[in-house]
Amino acid sequence: MTIRRGAQRLGLPRLDRRQFLAAGASVSLMGLCAFPRAAAAATAITAGPASITLDPERGATPVLAYGGQVPGPLLRVRQGERLQFELHNDLDEATTVHCHGMRMPNPMDGVPFLTQEPIEPGTSFLYDFDAVDAGTFWYHPHLRTTEQLDRGLYGVIVVDEPEPPRVDRELLLVLDDWRLKDDGTIHEDFGHRHDLSHEGRMGNFVTVNSAAPGDVAVRAGERLRLRLLNVANARVFAVNFGGLSPQVIAYDGQPVAPHGLADDRLLLGSAMRADLILDMTGQPGDSHAVRDDYYGDGPQGLFTFRYSQDAPLRDAPLEAPIELAANPIPEPDLQEAETQEVLIEGGARGFMEEASFRGEVYPARKLWREHRKAWALNGVAFDSPLMEPMFTLSLGRSYRWVIRNDTGWDHPMHLHGHAFRLLSRNGTPVPRRPWLDTVLMHLDETVEIAFVADNPGGWLFHCHILEHHEAGMGAVIKVA
Ligand code: C2O
Ligand code: CU
């Protein structure tokens, strides 16, 4: 296969920030969705250095990017179609691509050494698999992830339903944060000890689609489908719609019975997504701020819906149904499910006494001092994807995991290759038992999840606060 470099040269659509935020606006307010689709034949995507402007008040920010843009090119196929893209590595180090949340054959999962060899600089790798689930997913590296992802390597994958709900427009909103210096460059303190053992690498500059909080133009009466993604290394967003009442139709790409949010507030830990239906019920000329209020430092603006002066598109909200058809995920048999426990320990403020690493038991302090591992799952600190599996699951069998967070921190825990149902939190049943690929666990919380181990191979289970994973919070699961 010849190596093709760069999406640009193939004439693939490139979205600038405004188009990305409001694609379709100029095309047709009635269009179902107007995002350009990646070419059906294998798209070529180059990972390499680029420069973008995040904060106009600082200088340009040198980043790493897919196809020269952050977020990278939108990959969009219909459910049941093949997703194909050839990743060319123009970085000066090896990389891989993980299509987060997509259920695919193991060799396509992008975990170095476990599912593929690293893609060395100057070489390419073809990712090619059926998009079995419709939904909102994303892609990012899985090698030196804390740095490669943080520097800008990520992009969105949309798999369209055969019959998407009727909306006037779709908005992709990619939330991230950056640790910027005054001159606009990214702080290079990756893997800082404090970040490893505390809350991860928090940025000092929040962006939506790589721009500082700004306006989103809307028209009164229109129905939007929002696809929100949190691609930050560590930050949790509590997206507060304050007074607007979106209906959630999917979490992590997986359909859920439509429902409103408690307090109009959507919690998204690192890697998590939500699809929302939002009827713009305000009047021409109105504006409505959407803020993040997760941390104790007061609400931070994310974006402002600004209504045009145009007459309302309709007088009453559309009555068209918004519920999505289920994806073909096998239902776990809770009666027959085998129960397994996962204990999360460690970190600053934690009480982990010891953990094993590479087959040797260490007192926690020594493990930190000698190997910079601060966390453990079931008493074992993550080493590499080649380590012994934490569990070997029987192919086709149902499992119930009781996961206990015995630390002083939140952890968005992510399972590769499968979607799981979230059954309960601290013993309280979770309404609708949503399918997820990442569950945000609060400190001292115990959750129960269930899934059918239907996808053979070695898979990762890890915290998506990338510094936590780096510092030990991960494990390999084998399904055979
Ligand atoms: Cu978003 Cu292990 O990945
Ligand atoms: Cu964590």
Residue nearest to atom 3 of ligand 1 (CA): 100
Residues sharing a CB contact under 8 Å with residue 24, sequence separation 6 or more, in sequence order: 31, 33, 34, 35, 169, 170
Tokens in use for 338?
């085998």
338-479 homologous superfamily: Cupredoxins -  blue copper proteins (2.60.40.420)
Residue pointed to by tokens 């009781």: 402
What does the pLDDT read at residue 12? 30
Which secondary structure element, helix H or strand E, spans residue 229, and what is its range? strand 223-230
What does the pLDDT read at residue 165? 97
The per-residue pLDDT for range 95-117, each reduced to its tens digit, is 999 999 999 999 999 999 999 99
Fold match between 3-164 and 338-479?
yes
Domain range annotation of the chain: 3-164, 170-307, 338-479
Task: Determine whether the shortest distance from the Cβ of 400 to ligand 1 is under 6 A.
Answer: no
Tokens in use for 430?
């979770």
Rounded (5°) CA angle 215-173-92: 115
User: Minimum-distance ligand to the CA of 413?
Assistant: 2
List of the chain residues with pLDDT < 70: 1-41
Task: Determine whether the shortest distance from the Cβ of 208 to ligand 1 is under 6 A.
Answer: no
Question: How high is the mean pLDDT of the chain?
Answer: 91
User: Minimum-distance ligand to the CA of 197?
Assistant: 2
User: Minimum-distance ligand to the CA of 416?
Assistant: 1
For 396-424, b/e burial (b = at least 16 CB within 10 A) is eebbbbebbbbbebbbbbbbbbbbbbbbe
Tell me, in angstroms, the distance from the centre of ligand 2 to residue 469's CA: 7
User: Minimum-distance ligand to the CA of 234?
Assistant: 2
CA dist 351 and 407 (Å) reads 8
Tell me, in angstroms, the distance from the centre of ligand 1 to residue 429's CA: 26
What does the pLDDT read at residue 41? 58
Tell me, in angstroms, the distance from the centre of ligand 2 to residue 251's CA: 20
CA dist 130 and 103 (Å) reads 9
The one-letter amino acid at 243? G
CA dist 227 and 274 (Å) reads 6
Tell me, in angstroms, the distance from the centre of ligand 2 to residue 440's CA: 9
The per-residue pLDDT for range 358-369, each reduced to its tens digit, is 999 999 999 999
Determine the atom of ligand 1 nearest the C-alpha atom of 416: 2
What does the pLDDT read at residue 21? 40
From the list 116, 88, 86, the residue with the least C-alpha distance to 416 is: 116
Determine the atom of ligand 1 nearest the C-alpha atom of 438: 1
> What residues have their beta carbon closer than 5 A to ion ligand 2?
411, 463, 465, 468
Instruction: Specify the fold of 3-164.
Output: Immunoglobulin-like (2.60.40)
The per-residue pLDDT for range 182-221, each reduced to its tens digit, is 999 999 999 999 999 999 999 999 999 999 989 999 999 9
Task: Determine whether the shortest distance from the Cβ of 100 to ligand 1 is under 6 A.
Answer: yes
Task: Determine whether the shortest distance from the Cβ of 201 to ligand 1 is under 6 A.
Answer: no
User: Minimum-distance ligand to the CA of 376?
Assistant: 2
CA dist 132 and 280 (Å) reads 32
Residue nearest to atom 1 of ligand 1 (CA): 100
170-307 homologous superfamily: Cupredoxins -  blue copper proteins (2.60.40.420)
Tokens in use for 352?
């982990």
What does the pLDDT read at residue 23? 36
Tell me if residue 411 falls in helix, strand or coil.
strand
Determine the atom of ligand 1 nearest the C-alpha atom of 100: 1
Which secondary structure element, helix H or strand E, spans residue 145, and what is its range? helix 145-150
Determine the atom of ligand 1 nearest the C-alpha atom of 469: 2
Task: Determine whether the shortest distance from the Cβ of 98 to ligand 1 is under 6 A.
Answer: yes
What is the chain's percent helix, strand, coil content, to nearest 5?
Answer: 10, 40, 50
Rounded (5°) CA angle 352-355-356: 175
**180: β partners:** 186
Task: Determine whether the shortest distance from the Cβ of 421 to ligand 1 is under 6 A.
Answer: no
Task: Determine whether the shortest distance from the Cβ of 225 to ligand 1 is under 6 A.
Answer: no
Tell me, in angstroms, the distance from the centre of ligand 1 to residue 404's CA: 20
